[in-house]
Amino acid sequence: MHIAAAFHKPIVSVWGNTVPEFGMTPYLPQNKKLSKIMEVKNLPCRPCSKIGYDRCPKGHFNCMSGIDNAAIVNAIKSFL
């Protein structure tokens, strides 16, 4: 993600147990439209980590399984 940002390439980033507000989003000040963030907003257990866990502490992994796969595909297609 960060290397793509350095080369001004489109980015679709998928966020699970951490959140973009922690400051790890793609740095694209010249064109923020080159970045799409996919995440489950307003999940009460999220964020559960600053950098992410290998396993969900609650055992359900809703932060990832709740992301709409079609929305990810559409975001990618929008850059093609």
Task: Say what the pLDDT of residue 28 is.
Answer: 83
The 10s digit of each residue's pLDDT in 7-38 is: 999 999 999 999 988 888 888 877 878 999 99
pTM, 2 dp:
0.85
| Residue-wise burial string across 21-53, b where 16 or more C-beta atoms lie within 10 A, e elsewhere | eeebbbebeeeeeebbebbeeeeeebbbeeeee
Higher pLDDT, 32 or 63: 63
The domain ranges of the chain are: 2-79
Judged by DSSP in three states, 75 sits in: helix
Q: How far apart are the first and last CA of the chain?
A: 17
Task: Say what the pLDDT of residue 24 is.
Answer: 82
